[in-house]
Copies of this chain bind each other. A is one copy, B any other.
Amino acid sequence: MSIHEVAKLANVSIATVSRTLHNNPRVSPETAARVWQAIRELKYYPNTHARSLASGRSHIVGLIVSDITNPFFPEMVRGFEESASRRGYDTIIASTNYDPSRTATAVRRMIERKVDGVGIMTSEMDQNLIDEMANRDVPMVFLDVAAPSRRISNLRIDYVGGINLAVRHLLELGHRRIGFLSGPFELKSARTRHDAFIECLGGFGIFEDARLVEQGNHRIDGGLAAMQRLLQLDSPPTAVLASNDLTAIGALRGIRNMGLQVPDDISVVGFDDIDLAEFTEPPLTTVRLSRAEIAERALDCLLLNMDFGREGGSEVVIGTNLIVRKSTAPPRRKRRAETGQTITPAKGRARRERAPESIPGGRPAPR
């Protein structure tokens, strides 16, 4: 059943039906009413394929993520799909699983579907594939990858700001020996976070100590293992910052496995604020990075670059802020758990940097 039957029933031409469907003001109210009536009567749904073919716009946006199974992504996917839907676009999704061949397939599919834009939320993307799309004038938006260029926008995450907040928070609590649990260095986003950490520490006048950085894999098991290595040091850190929340959760576990307590023995700060962070034991202090905002901005960028043939891509900064929960506290203070459980004394480890000097340029610790 097509526009023709509607036209026949409403006793108009198909052109008029089409115009009516698009609320074109040039069709008279009476005619429009008749047409809508016919549409309802026949339960007519326009054929998007014909539509795309004729108009050249598919009203589909693509979303490529590296691993939808990583808790960071579902919230983003949902936001993206929601935003897109609200603006009249359908979302076709691809989870590449870090596999280049799957990524290539995904790109091919996007091109074949003539997507009106694509969000690329994985940093591991072959330049050839990007070019392939660029050549076809597909607007793209990346997450923290490169400078914007023709029809290519970039969402720049304010890692430095977020990590600064986290580090300052720890410094204010009195920590001086702060460890970092990085992600896998193959991942650009992991490197960026790590570099921000080092830079930030430098900014506070604290020298880098390579032993305090351990590499995880952005998953729980990696965080656990990395934390265990850190705890093996002669003088382990009194606080650690993790490259993402999953890593932090692993760290929480690693610390508990050693018979230590968070935050009394060691403070832990995560990054991302995934849904789960609120529910860890103890609830995780973490740097929040709003996935909904990322999604929304991504769509903004895409639409901007397709609706007006505006050539230049934009760069928009995604802010971060610190969510203080229960996994951070001043160093070396013991306190009783609310449940009344007896506390295991931290097994005698050498500690240093006990002196609560004031933070360079900061205010005194809150307690």
A interface with B by C-beta (< 8 Å): 43, 45-50, 52-53, 58, 60, 67-69, 71, 73-75, 77-78, 81-82, 85, 90-95, 97, 102, 105-106, 108-109, 111-114, 132, 135, 220-221, 249-250, 253, 256-259, 275-276, 279, 281, 339-342, 344
Residues of B near A109 (CB, < 8 A) are 85, 90
Residues of B near A108 (CB, < 8 A) are 45
Smallest Cβ-Cβ distance to A82: which chain B residue: B95
Residues of B near A281 (CB, < 8 A) are 253, 256, 281
Least CB distance, A66 to chain B, in whole angstroms: 11
Q: Indicate which residue in B43, B81, B112 contacts A45 across the interface (CB closer than 8 Å).
A: B112
CA distance A276 to B250 in the complex (A): 11
Cβ of B112 and Cβ of A47 under 8 Å apart? yes
When A85-B109, A220-B279 are in contact, do A341 and B339 touch as well, CB less than 8 Å?
A: no
When A45-B112, A344-B339 are in contact, do A69 and B259 touch as well, CB less than 8 Å?
A: no
Cβ of B93 and Cβ of A91 under 8 Å apart? yes
Residues of B near A259 (CB, < 8 A) are 339-341
CA distance A90 to B62 in the complex (A): 11
CA distance A135 to B112 in the complex (A): 29
CA distance A113 to B48 in the complex (A): 6
Complex A-B: 13 CB contacts under 8 Å:
A43-B132, A48-B49, A69-B78, A85-B94, A85-B102, A90-B109, A92-B92, A93-B93, A253-B281, A276-B276, A339-B344, A341-B341, A341-B344
Least CB distance, A223 to chain B, in whole angstroms: 10
Cβ of B74 and Cβ of A68 under 8 Å apart? yes
CA distance A151 to B249 in the complex (A): 45
| 8 more A-B residue pairs beyond the given contacts A49-B52, A49-B58, A253-B279, with a C-beta to C-beta distance below 8 A | A69-B75, A71-B74, A90-B113, A91-B92, A256-B281, A257-B339, A281-B281, A342-B344
Cβ of A249 and Cβ of B48 under 8 Å apart? no
Cβ of A92 and Cβ of B90 under 8 Å apart? yes
Residues of B near A113 (CB, < 8 A) are 48-49, 90
Q: Indicate which residue in B92, B94, B249 contacts A279 across the interface (CB closer than 8 Å).
A: B249
Residues of B near A58 (CB, < 8 A) are 49
Cβ of B69 and Cβ of A81 under 8 Å apart? no
Residues of B near A91 (CB, < 8 A) are 92-93
Residues of B near A275 (CB, < 8 A) are 69
CA distance A135 to B108 in the complex (A): 33
In this complex, which of A69, A257, A258 has the most chain B Cβ atoms within 10 angstroms of its Cβ? A69
CA distance A279 to B279 in the complex (A): 13
CA distance A112 to B90 in the complex (A): 11
In this complex, which of A48, A67, A81 has the most chain B Cβ atoms within 10 angstroms of its Cβ? A48
Closest 6 A-B residue pairs measured CB to CB?
A: A49-B52, A259-B339, A342-B342, A49-B53, A49-B49, A48-B112
Residues of B near A73 (CB, < 8 A) are 74
Smallest Cβ-Cβ distance to A339: which chain B residue: B259
Smallest Cβ-Cβ distance to A50: which chain B residue: B53
Residues of B near A258 (CB, < 8 A) are 339
Residues of B near A102 (CB, < 8 A) are 85
When A279-B220, A341-B259 are in contact, do A53 and B47 touch as well, CB less than 8 Å?
A: yes
